[in-house]
Structures are given as structure tokens and as C-alpha cells.
Structure 1
Amino acid sequence: MYRRTMTGLIFTFLFLVSCPALAQDAPPEAKEQAPVTMDAVTVTATKREGTVKDFPGNISVMDDVFIETHGTDELADLTRFAPNVYIKHTSSGGSIVCRGISTIDTSLFSPMGLYMNDVALPIGYMVNQDLFDIERVEILRGPQATLYGRNSESGVINIVLKEPDNTQRTRLMTELGNYSTVRMGGSTSGPLVEDKLFYSLSLLGKTTNGYVENTFRDDDDVAGEESIFGRGTLRWTPSKAWDIAVDLDGKNNNHGMSVLRYEDGPNATPRHEVRANEADRAHEKAFGQSARIKYAWPTMELTSITSHRSFDRDHLHDFDRTPIPLGTSEMDTELDSWGQEFRLASTDTTALSWLVGLYGRHETVDAGIDFNHINPLMASKRKGDSTDNGYAGFGQATYEMIEGLRLTGGLRLDVSRNSGKHTYTPNSGPVSYEKDIDNTEWLPMASLAYDFTPNVTAYTTVSRGFLAGGFNFFSATSADTFAYDPEHSMNYEAGIKTTWLDNTLTFNTTIFYTELSDKQVREEVPGAGMGVWKFTNAADAHTQGIEVEAAYNPIPELQFRAGFGYADAEVDKWDTTVGGTPVDYSGNKLPWAPEYTYTLSAEYNHQSGFFILADLLGTGEQYFDAANTIKDDGYQTVNLRVGYQVKDIEIALWCDNLLDEEYANKKVKNGAGLTLVEDGAPRTFGLTANWRF
């Protein structure tokens, strides 16, 4: 009751602050101003410049102003404003869950694609990107196989960087927060040779003790972080037809991982406290290079994107999470990925717009895990590698049959050749095996959209997607438990996009139904002992639901935003064994899939420079296991931001999770049946200063 009351008071306060602006008589010059309108947002998600209305599907767009105003420093913070999109960011890995389509807990790859300036970020550890010096983020729901080089089963998040041009821009940022948190960043961009050669540079650093304490070791920074990230772009436009850009980026991150605590049993601890004899840690290094070359004719444009990304993560943790020195697990994962994409797209405004593309990749993964135990009979090692060569041809075209009625069709041919090797070394000696996963997929899509009026557009879309198969590097013991095949999805959706009240109000709604076949799941290996799992394609499932987004800008100083997503993700068929006993999971909810998400925001900007912003963000019930015995009941957090801007300087005081809501990012049971919890963030607060010149 207290939390609901406080939430109501915050939004009531924002409303009262805005009342004087709503009620007072406007000065004569103000009465003659044009009414407030929300401009159409330009997006490049379709690889052809357009608006949200033009996209034949559900898309959310957050620009740089939204990102900075709401203080969304990382992608996981931003996606909370997108209905039915949830980033699972835990110590065991990351994944983007869209419309309830989740994946295996320790899978390296996510069912939702993530791109940074047209370059795929394929591995799950990369999902929680820093959002500094970003132009906008576009979130597309549903399969996008006919638009993007790399395949995506449930949707795409497209991060668009700021493009350097003739305008000189410089920004310095400093942020101080509780738990000894400091973030500092700077960016600059502009011309080296006017109209010809441009540059951009950005640098971001962070250090924090984190909010978890190891009471056994008397250590308050076991979940701390020290990271530094940098990016640079050099852009050359020798003529109107040519646009050439080279991007470099890199990140070095050291952070603690001692976040799992016991909820029950003799080692149970309170929230944000752990008792382990080891200080868990992880180290990540990422490096990326890309070259984008565009050549434009009067009616079409050719784009070439050459990219390389490397990623290396090693971590160590106390596998029993107790003060007893039983042992540790050490994991190492290395990714090296090369990609080449050619894309030809129309640029004129005729009734037919189209895109065709070719894509190829060469990707290697080296991964392994060592279980170190005081009892040598229980120690083991696993080490594996894989080489993936993938090729795809894709295309999409939209034809306006009559004014306002548009038919879109697309097709993708996806071919992959993935070979893996693995060695399992128990105390009895090493066992080695190999496996190949060769796969060819045809992925069609079709959409019909109609503009009933300039302010009302309805659409319906059918599309097919798949999530590639892979290898079980971390728990396999034989060839039979090493590899698993692709899963497939069939997506149906219909929606309506509207604007009202002289474009001061937008209201968009989508309903969807997705069938999932050959669902990738984790199952026990009968008689193999604790910690030995196989990944299979044993399940069928479906997800269905609705997404609603609205924004209202009644006066220039005041804006409201709201969003709601509901996803009922359910197993249709899955027969397996637990402890050697047959079980039927049919009717259970898919794990790692929140039932709903919602957001409500109010923002007021006074002409004097004062501003205040409040966000209410909610996440519904979700299960963490296939048996649906471990769950989080759902939670809501309130974020508040108050500040002042004068000329080029902005200072803001902020508080996230104002009411200190308790929730879990992860829950898991150990071999003894005891529950371990990874707590969500507590109340955090601080001050941010931005200087632009």
C-alpha cells in the first residue's frame, strides 16, 4: 500500500506542477503559436529511410534525447520502456527476450538480434551495451530475416550511432552515485575537411563497488566493476555519390560476480549479502572494426559492410557459494567473427520500393570450463571449439497497389555449415568427439498495410523465423549431448498505428500469435549425475499477446508516455525425465519470459530550464525453470529525475528504484534442492552533469 501511495503522489505532483502552465492565460505572442505536434520519427530499420508508420510491423524508437532524459545508461535500462522486450542480464550470461521467446539459460546466442550500425553483436554477453553518444535505438518485434544480414528469430534491436558531419559537437559528462559509483565520458565530432572528411571520438569509463557484500570475507565490492570503452569513426564523402566510414571500438571490463545468495538452508543470507570463500570475478575484452561504403545512384543505393569482432571473457566463481572451500569453476569463452554484407536498395519515391542483399560470415568460438574440486574424483574439464560458415540471400519489396494500400513480401535463403569439437576430461581420462550441424532454411514474410486516413494505418504480417542450432560446451559428456538443432517460429500479427488531436497524441496497438517448433530446451542425462545436461529440440510451444504504446504532448512543456505488453508463453508439448522419472511439462510457462511489462512516464520542462521526470516501470511474473517451481512474482520500480539546464550545461539529481523494491534477476536450485537468488538492484541515486559546447 505504501508503494502504491508513493507512486500516486509522485505522478500527482507532476500533474500539479504542470497545472499553472495549463491554466494560466498565455501571452499574446504565445496564443498565435502553432499547436504542438509530434514530428514523424525517421527510422532506418527497414534499410530504406522512412517513418514508424511506413514499417510493416511493430517498432519502438527511442532517440538520444529520450536516452539522456531518462538516464538509460545501458540497453537493459532502455528496453524496460519497450513493451514485451526484456533483457536477461545475469552472472550466467545474457539474452534478449521478446514476446516471451527465451532461450536456454547458458546459451551463447540470443533469439533476438542486436546490431550496432548494421554490425551484428551475436553473443549473449554483448547484449547490455553502453548507450553513450547514440543517435537512436530502434526495436523491431517479430522475425526480421528479410531485412538484416544475420538471421533473427524474435526481433531486432538496431542501435544507430551519431554520424559525424559539418557540425562541431563536444560533450563532457560526469556522474557520481552511491556505492562509490563514478561514470565519466566525453565525445567530440566534426569536420576535418569541410564537406569531405569528418571524425568522431567517444570515451566512457565507469567504476563502482556495487551493492553486494560478502560478509564472510568482509568485502563490500564483490560485485564491483571497472570498465573503459572507446569508439572512433572516420567518414569520407569525396562526392555526393560516395559515403565511406570506418568505425573502431573497444572495451575492457573487470567486474565481480559474487551475486548469488542462498534464500534458504544453513547458508541463507539477507538481500544483497553473500557468504562465499572465493571472490568471484570476470574479465571481458571486446574489439570491433567495420567499414561501410555507400554509393548512390539517382534511384538506388549500394551498401557494403565489412566487419570483424572479437570477444574474450574469462571468469571464476565459487561453485557452491558457501564459506567451505570445496572448489571453483573457471570458464573461458572466445569469439572471433568476420562478416560481409552487400545491400542494394531503392531510394526513389515510386509505388515500388525494394531491397536485396547478400551476407556471409566466418565465425569461430572457443569455449571451456574447468571444475576444480578438493576431491579429485569430482573434478573435470571441458574444452571445445566450433567454426561456423554462413551465407544468406535476402530481399524485401513493398508495392503500393492503390493509394494507401501497400503489399510487402520478402524471402530469405539461409545456409550454415557449423562444425564443432569437444573434449571432456573427468578423472578417468579424456574423451573427444566431433559433430557437424548443416542447415538450410527458407524464410518468407508477407504484410498488407492500409492507410484509412493520413492518421490511421492498419497492417497484418505473417513471417517465419528460426534460431540456429549450436553446441553445448559447458556440460556435454559425449557426442550425443554435444550438439542441438535449430528451432523454428511462425509469427502472425496485426496492428494499428494512429495519431490524434492534431498529432499531439499517438496510440499504437499490436496483437500477435507465434508458434514455436523444435524448441531448444535443457534436459537431464539420465544416470549421468549432477551438472550433466543435454540440449535438445524436444518441445513445441506458443506465445500470444498484445502490445500498446501511447505518447501525449498537450503543450510543449509537458509529455506523457505509456506502454503495456502481455505475452502468454506456454509449452504445448514436452515429455522429459527428472531424476529418472517421466514428467510432462505441457501447459507450463516458458522460463525467462515475463508475463507482462508496462511503463508510465511523465515529463515537465519549464521555460526557465527546470525539469522533472518520473517513470513507473513494471515487469510481471516469470519462472526460472521448466518445472515452474521457481519464480519471481513481478515487480515495479519508480525512477525520479530532477534537474536544471542553462545554456550548454545540464545538472540532474536522480534516484532509481526510489521505493527500494525487492525482486530477483535469477533464481536456481542446487543439487540439494536449495534456492539461490540473484537480487535486482536496490535504490540508487546520484548526480549527473553534462556540458555541451
Structure 2
Amino acid sequence: MWGNGKKTLATLLSAIMIAGTILQTSAGAGENIKNKQRKVALDDVMVTAEKQEMQDKDIAGSISVVDSLVLDEHNIRTTEEMTRVVPNLFFKTATSGDAFVSRGISTIDTSLYSPMGFYINDVAYPLSYMQAQALFDIERIEVLRGPRSTLYGKNSSSGVINMVSTPQGNTARAHVLLEAGAYNTFTTGAMIGGPILEDTLFYTFSALRRVTDGYMENQFLGTDEASDDQRFSGQASLRYTPNSDLDITLTLDGSDQDKGLDDLRYLDGASATHPYKVLNNQVSSSEQKNLGQSMHVKYTFDNLDLVSVTSHQDFDRNHIMDSDRTSSPLGVSCIDLDRESWAQEFRLSSSSGGFFSSWLLGAYASNENIDHDWELKHAMPALANRRLSESDADGIALFGQASRPLTQRLTATAGLRVDHSSASGSQAYTRSTGTTLYAEDLSDTELLPMASLSWEFTPSTTGYLTFSTGWMAGGYDYYSATSRENFAYGPEYTRNYEAGIKTSFFNNRIRANLSVFHTDIDDKQIREEVLGGGIGAWKITNAAGAHTQGVELEVKALPAHNIEIFAGLGYAKAEIDEWIGTLDGAAMNYSGYVLPWAPDLTANAGISYTHDSGWYGTAGIFLAGEQYFDAANTLKDEGYALVNLKAGYRWDRYDISIWCKNLFDEKYAQKKVKTQGNTLVEDGEPMTLGVTLNWRW
């Protein structure tokens, strides 16, 4: 399969170059003098992922920016689809929890948290369940690869994703989206925004509704809605600027999702089925709700900016799942998760020159409370159990970062964060033999430095060297703990060494960014068998050391004003350096094995063309290399290639298009897991077709 993918990539790349040449020639031949004089150049990209506004080329690190135009051209509707245009970023989609995987750094399958920080308008969304977002009215998504804990703190040990909504202003605007696709999929979106009082008070309201039957069929229950998904999300914001110095934005956002979870099917054994078919006797489903409020205040005085970000979130998830994934009524597992969090951050920054070309100082405080109820109801009372857990965590941090020109071309940047986290947790573990109570406190104080050097070879070419650190906070095992000894686990640490170059050619018509990196991972959080504990006895420990190293390349070109060619390549070799664990009751040395949940290669390439008459089209391919789903590297996906096409027409305020995702109906696995000697697999999405209508004002 992967061999076919490589051939497909080579063919598509050749076709892209030929098409680009032909289209450029034909476009040039048909242009009038006005068009020939039209400027053709890639726009400068302004970002805020470093918590100060700057151009992406000035960041001494690997960054990708996916703006609203890219989201529209590729018909990207979710965060999972967004990762397919960003090298070395992958989205793990699984019934046990979604998560971003950057540069091969993944997390344990049942972890509530992701090592990739995820922020929407400066507000953290740390739970893996919260990171599968629907995308609508987004100005840009900034992806910083490599540890970013100096500025962002815990749980940003592999990078940070910063998502920015379209800002309000004096220009009134509106957008209506209507979309229909395969498997009875319908999406409706609406946005309206503009001034209430010019230059002073502005509003934005947006809402998105998506329903689908999904592509899984439960043959035992006779339903083709085994993976149905009904989701509503909305956001309302009010911006107040009484003068040129003060800017206040209040935001209310929320989502409500009901989703079928009958995605895992057996590859072998008596319950084996064909792709996209299951035989569960119990309907598996989840309901997930999130409600958040935030206030962003910016005050400018003299040459300083003072920023305050206050946020509160309530998140609830309930799900019921067929525990054995067969037609036999053996048991179900039920989860009830409630999370409430508060966070406050203050930042003071300047970029006015002086001894430092720019600097930033900040303080951060947070509180998080989680109530977690996990129960296995089983036909055999001896196997039934329940874990009622509660945890309360506090965090406080001081951080700073500054840049200093050493020469006319050489700039040094250094930063440091002091991050303190404390938590208390308890669990009541109930079996047929009785209830066991235990509790554990956690406390960690981390120093998280970073340093970089940037050298401007020419005005259009900059090189950099960067050292950065990250940490993934310790936590509690809500699912498999049996005693105080295995209820809690400690932090995981990353140290990253990176070199890169950012350049542009031909009057900024071609832009290319290249980076190479090596990241050491200490005290890796892993899930392993409890020696002598029997079937299903697991624990989470900090038993492993690992590393990942690789390369990233992004290229974007404008051969003509209406043609864009793009390509990205990410390679990450993530290996275990040291880990002596247990497999099937015997000692196992995992050293040299590949970390699971991380494809070694991600790549994308394609071309977009817009004719002056209004017709347009986009063709692209996404490649994922081989990945493993277990530490012993026995469960594997060989890799796959997804080809996507879109064609449409724009006129006045309207835009209508038809599209196809996974054109060749590539079969691939999103998850594999062993249970009772058999293998379960979660199928990737098959070919889908659809039509989209946009109206913008």
C-alpha cells in the first residue's frame, strides 16, 4: 500500500509541475496588460503564537500557518483534516480519545491529556476529547512544532497549536454555509458580525450544525448509523474599544455533540467482519458538552502592551460502550467525566527597541477539578468493577522571554519559565469483593529554559539554532488503578535541539522552510502490564526513555497570480531508548522499538488554480507512513495515500463547489488493539463526495 502511495506521490508531483507550467503559460497568454502588471507575491504572514505579534519568518523555530484561504480551498472542516496540510503533525482518531501527534511524540492511549498544547483565542483546550474541533469562521491556525513549555507551561512538550477566530471590526460581514455529502452528511453554518457603534463596539455571532449517519454499519442490530455524529457549536463575542489604548473582548462559546462509537471491529476470530461493519449487541455512543467564557483585555501605554486573559470552562462527557465488541451480551463500560477549570494570565511586552529588540514577562495561574466515574458492567460479577475518582489541580507560573541583537545580522533570544503544579486525587475502587479507597498528592516545580540564535544571511534568508524544553505533567490513572501504588504517575520531559532555514526566492514568489531536529524524551509515560495481575491489569508508569529526530520541509510557490503550488514533508523517527517492561506475563525489553501512534512520514502536495472568470480547482494528496499501535510493534498500519479534489465557481457573493475526499477509496487503520487473542481495528474514512454552497457579504 505504501509503495503505491509513493508512486502516486511521484506521479502527482510530476503532474503538478507540468500543470503549473501549462497553466502559467496559458494564463500569461490570455492576460491583458493590466493583469500582466499585477503583482505576484506571497503575502507576509503575521502570527501571535509567541504571544507577541510578529512575522512567522522571525520565529526561531518550525511553524506552519493554515489560514482561512487554505481551509476553504481544501474544504477543511475539522482539526483532523487540518493536520493533513501540515508536515509532522498527525491526528490520532480513536474511540479511546483523540490527540495531536507532533514529530512522533504521542501519549498513552487512555490519557486524558495531549502533549500538544491546543489554544483557541488564548484559551487552553487540554483534554484530548476537546481537541476534535469543527472549524468555522477561523482566520488562521498556527502550528508550532517542538517543545514550547517556556511560554505555555505544562502539556506543550511536543508543540502548540494556536487557533485564532476572525476578528471584529468596522466592516460588517456575514457568511452562510450549506453543505451536503455522502452518508447523509449535512452541514449548516452561519456567521454575522460588525460594528454596533463605529470604532467603539463590535459583535460577532457564529453557529455550525453538522449531522451524519457515518460510514459504519452494525449488522447485528441492523442499523447503518453506528458511527453517526450530531454536533452543534457556536460562539458569540463582544469587543469594546473606548479609545486607542484599551481593547476588551468578551467571548462565550459552546458545543454539544452526540456521537456513535461503534467503530472498532474484529479483524480475526469468530466475530471478524468486513471493513465498516460491526456486530455489537449494544449501541455505543457518547454525549459531550463544553461551555466556556473568556475575557481578553489589552491596554497599551507608551511602548508597552499589558494583556490579561481570563477563562472559565465546563466540560462534560458521558459514554456507554459495548466492552467486548461482539453480539454476545457480556458487558458494557460507562464513563461520566466532569471537568471545570479557571485560568488567569497576565503579560507585559514591548517591541519598541532599546537594549532588547523585544521582550515579554508573564504570570499564570489555574485551577482544574475533575470528577470521573468509570464502570464496567459485566455478565460475570467477578469481572465487574467501578472506579469513582476525584482530582483537584492548581498551577502557577512566572515566565519571560527576550531578544537581543548581537550584531546587525545576529539576534539572540532566551527565555525561562518557573512552573509549579500541585494536585490531590482520590479513588474508590469497587469489585465484587468490596471497595478499596486510596489517595495521592502530586507536586512538581519545573525550570523550563529556551535559547535561540538567528542569523540573517540576506533580507530573504534567515537561519536559526534553537534549544527548547517541555514537560507533560503527571496525573492519575482513572481507568486501571487498583491501589495507591499505581494510582498516580509522574511528569514526562522533552529537550529539543533544532536547526533551520527560512527563505524566499524570485521576489517572494517561492517560499521554502527547512528544519532538522533531535528531541530527547525522559521519564516517558507509558501503559504496561502489571506483572502477575492477570488479564486486563494495567498501570501507567514513567519507565521509558526515548528520542525522536527528523526533518520538515515546506514549499509554497506562485508561478502566476492565479496558481499556487504547495508541498510539505515531515519525517520523524521516534524510538524507545530504554524500557524493560512486561508482555504476556514475561519480561520484555522494548529498547529499539518504535513509539506507537506516530507515523514516521507525513507529506502533502498539490496545486490550486483560479481562473479570472471565477472557475477554480484544487488537487492534493496526503501521505502517512507506517505506524505502530502497540509498544511491542506487533500491530501496524503500512501507510496510506489520500487524494482529494475540489472544483467550483465564484460569482458576486456566491461560491458553489463539488469535492471528493479519498478519491481512490484507500483502506487504512486508525487504531488496532489486541483483546483476548484477537485484533480489533478502527477503519479510516472511505471515499466521500459532496457539494458546498457559500454566501459571503
**TM-score, normalized by length of structure 1?**
0.98
2:360 counterpart residue number: 355
2:341 counterpart residue number: 337
Deviation at 1:646, TM superposition (A): 0.5
2:159 counterpart residue number: 155
d(CA) in 1 for partners of 2:162, 2:240: 23
Compared with structure 1, are the counterparts of its residues 604 and 540 closer, same or farther at alpha carbon in structure 2 (3 Å cutoff)?
same
d(CA) in 2 for partners of 1:172, 1:660: 30
* Residue number among 392, 400, 403 corresponding to 2:405 in the alignment: 400
2:208 counterpart residue number: 204
1:565 counterpart residue number: 570
d(CA) in 1 for partners of 2:213, 2:138: 26
Compared with structure 1, are the counterparts of its residues 349 and 71 closer, same or farther at alpha carbon in structure 2 (3 Å cutoff)?
farther
d(CA) in 1 for partners of 2:608, 2:132: 26
* Residue number among 520, 528, 546 corresponding to 2:525 in the alignment: 520
2:542 counterpart residue number: 537
Give the aligned residue type for 2:615. F
Compared with structure 1, are the counterparts of its residues 402 and 358 closer, same or farther at alpha carbon in structure 2 (3 Å cutoff)?
same
Contact 2:114/2:155, CA 8 A, preserved across alignment: no
* Residue number among 579, 604, 618 corresponding to 1:613 in the alignment: 618
d(CA) in 1 for partners of 2:8, 2:590: 40
Spell out structure 1 runs of 4+ moving beyond 4 A.
1-7, 13-18
1:389 counterpart residue number: 394
1:602 counterpart residue number: 607
Compared with structure 1, are the counterparts of its residues 679 and 31 closer, same or farther at alpha carbon in structure 2 (3 Å cutoff)?
closer
Moved more, 341-350 or 245-254: 341-350
d(CA) in 2 for partners of 1:516, 1:308: 32
Per-residue CA shift, 1:122-169, capped at 9, x if unaligned?
101011111100010000011112223655111000001111110000
1:12 counterpart residue number: 15
2:483 counterpart residue number: 478
Deviation at 1:83, TM superposition (A): 0.9
Give the aligned residue type for 2:385. S
Per-residue CA shift, 1:574-628, capped at 9, x if unaligned?
0012233111000000011110100001111000000010110011111000111
1:266 counterpart residue number: 270
Q: Is 1:625 matched up with 2:634?
A: no
Give the aligned residue type for 1:209. D
1:496 counterpart residue number: 501
Compared with structure 1, are the counterparts of its residues 2 and 538 closer, same or farther at alpha carbon in structure 2 (3 Å cutoff)?
closer
Compared with structure 1, are the counterparts of its residues 16 and 406 closer, same or farther at alpha carbon in structure 2 (3 Å cutoff)?
closer
Per-residue CA shift, 1:292-325, capped at 9, x if unaligned?
1110013110001110011111111111111111
2:560 counterpart residue number: 555
Per-residue CA shift, 1:438-468, capped at 9, x if unaligned?
0000010000001000011000001111100
2:25 counterpart residue number: 22
Secondary structure, counterpart of 1:25 in structure 2: helix
Per-residue CA shift, 1:159-191, capped at 9, x if unaligned?
011111100000000000010000000001100
* Residue number among 97, 119, 122 corresponding to 2:123 in the alignment: 119
Contact 2:16/2:565, CA 8 A, preserved across alignment: no
d(CA) in 2 for partners of 1:556, 1:27: 10
Compared with structure 1, are the counterparts of its residues 496 and 10 closer, same or farther at alpha carbon in structure 2 (3 Å cutoff)?
closer
1:80 counterpart residue number: 84
Unaligned runs of 5+ in 2: none
2:586 counterpart residue number: 581
Give the aligned residue type for 2:472. L
Give the aligned residue type for 2:444. N
Give the aligned residue type for 2:25. L
Moved more, 620-629 or 524-533: 524-533
1:677 counterpart residue number: 681
Compared with structure 1, are the counterparts of its residues 526 and 428 closer, same or farther at alpha carbon in structure 2 (3 Å cutoff)?
same
Structure 1 segment 320-469 matched on structure 2, within 5 A:
320-350=324-354, 352-469=357-474
Contact 1:517/1:541, CA 8 A, preserved across alignment: yes
d(CA) in 1 for partners of 2:67, 2:582: 48
d(CA) in 2 for partners of 1:35, 1:556: 7
d(CA) in 2 for partners of 1:187, 1:500: 38
Secondary structure, counterpart of 1:131 in structure 2: coil
Q: Is 1:227 matched up with 2:231?
A: yes
Number of corresponding residues? 692
Deviation at 1:481, TM superposition (A): 1.3
d(CA) in 2 for partners of 1:375, 1:478: 22
Unaligned runs of 5+ in 1: none
Deviation at 1:33, TM superposition (A): 0.8
d(CA) in 2 for partners of 1:336, 1:315: 18
d(CA) in 1 for partners of 2:18, 2:189: 34
**TM-score, normalized by length of structure 2?**
0.97
d(CA) in 1 for partners of 2:259, 2:323: 17
Secondary structure, counterpart of 1:146 in structure 2: helix
Q: Is 1:68 matched up with 2:72?
A: yes
Secondary structure, counterpart of 1:518 in structure 2: strand
Q: Is 1:188 matched up with 2:207?
A: no
d(CA) in 2 for partners of 1:156, 1:516: 17
